Structures are given as structure tokens and as C-alpha cells.
Amino acid sequence: MTDLIGHRFARPELLQQALTHRSAGAPHNERLEFLGDALVNLIVAEALYTYWPKADEGALTRARAELVRESALAPIARTLDLGPRLTLGPGEMKSGGHRRDSILADALEAVIAAIYLDSDFPTCRAAVMPWFESAIAALPPPNKVGKDAKTRLQEWLQARQKPLPIYALLGETGEDHAKSFQVSCTLNQPPLVAEGVGSSRRAAEQAAAEAALNQLLER
């Protein structure tokens, strides 16, 4: 665990608490989550302030919101392999809580707070920043941040007087609490078909639109 998160705990009980969901009883991670939420917002805000020296407050705020939302934090938690290490109550264990985005995102915030309490802010920032560097580098230009992929694709097509895309559900797999949806995005002009996968149909459509945009911009 310490190798994955980049911090060796002097007080390992802090890490254990950070990975304990309230369903498992006290001490759980809700207070740590509260502190971690503030810390991750500060760390990401500071990074964006440096990364985009000319961006206005609105663009910085939208970019931060993109980077610290639940659906952005949960994949980081999975990369750090937090899910299998969570301590959950029997009900959450049976319902697959270790795979749920909300629980994973909360645990990640709690881990950030645990690192901070175990050390100091510079140490915490040094451990946490690598988790966000690729996502920050992949952000669209400041004036495009906050527009989802379907909106950006629609605007790209409308600006060129092209027909709007057609989305179709190709299939869904998995149990009710962990479904995966596959969607296609078809363009007539220029002719193009892209696919996307997500935990909801909406998320899959966004992924398909993003894939279509990437293909268009590569041409």
C-alpha cells in the first residue's frame, strides 16, 4: 500500500481508518474524508493556477471541478488498488461496495487526509500530485473546460453544418450494482463510427462522443 500511494506511514492506524467505511463501525473515514476533500481541492487548484497562468477564475473553477469529481477520483482509487483493501460492513460487502465510485472516491479523499495528518502539507502534495498530472495534462483548452464531450462534438458538427450524431446502445453486461454499457456514436458527415463504454448509458455516450472527437481531430 505504501508503495502504491507514495507515502510510508509513521502512524499506520491513520491509513487503516481512511480505508474503513462507516458501515464497518467506528473509527471510520468520514471525518478524514471531510478534511481530504478540502486538501484535494487545494492541491488541484494550486496545480491548475501554475499550469494555466493566463486562465480566468471561471476556467480554473470548472477545471478543478472536472478533476475532483467522484467519477475522476474513483479511477485513481482503483489505480491505487484501494477497493480490495477497504473495510466494509457485511451489507456493503455483499452489494459490492468496494467497486462503487462513491465509496472509492470518499476513501481516496480520506487517504489524502491521512497522509497530511501523518506528515505535513508539502509531503502530502508531493504524494498526491502524481495521481493528477496526466489528467491535468489531458485537459482541453481553458475555454473548452466544463463542456462535456457530447456538447463539444455537437458544436464541432454544427460549426461545419454537418448532421448531428446518432447514439445507439450496443449492449450491457454485469450485475445490477456494477453494470457496464456499450454505446456507438455514428456520424454521417464525415462518415465515422466510434464506441464507448461506461457505468451508465449516459457515461457510455460521453465516452463514445469523446472517441469520435478524437478521431475527427486526428484527421
CATH code (residue 92): 1.10.1520.10
Domain membership of residue 177 as a residue range: 149-218
Tell whether 36 and 123 lie within a shared domain: yes
Tell whether 103 and 184 lie within a shared domain: no
Q: What is the number of structural domains in the chain?
A: 2
Tell whether 80 and 117 lie within a shared domain: yes
Tell whether 106 and 76 lie within a shared domain: yes
On whether 148 is known to bind a ligand per the annotation, the reply is: no
Tell whether 91 and 118 lie within a shared domain: yes
Per-residue pLDDT at 146: 65
Question: What does residue 112 show for φ and ψ, rounded to 5 degrees?
Answer: -60, -45
On whether 109 is known to bind a ligand per the annotation, the reply is: yes
Start-to-end CA distance of the chain, whole Å, equals 42
Tell whether 167 and 100 lie within a shared domain: no
Tell whether 12 and 87 lie within a shared domain: yes
Per-residue pLDDT at 129: 96
Alpha-carbon distance 35 to 116, whole Å?
A: 9
Per-residue pLDDT at 97: 86
pLDDT (tens digit, 0 to 9) for every residue of the chain, 219 residues total?
456 898 999 999 999 999 999 999 999 999 999 999 999 999 999 999 999 999 889 889 888 988 998 888 999 999 999 999 999 999 888 888 888 899 999 999 999 999 999 999 999 999 999 999 988 988 878 876 767 889 889 988 998 999 999 999 999 988 776 789 999 999 998 999 999 998 889 889 999 999 998 888 776
> How far, in Å, are 61, 92, 134 from residue 66 at the CA level?
9, 27, 13
Tell whether 24 and 107 lie within a shared domain: yes
Which residues have a catalytic role annotated? Answer: 37, 109
CATH number of the domain enclosing 161:
3.30.160.20
On whether 118 is known to bind a ligand per the annotation, the reply is: no
Per-residue pLDDT at 110: 98
What radius of gyration do the chain's Cα atoms show?
Answer: 20
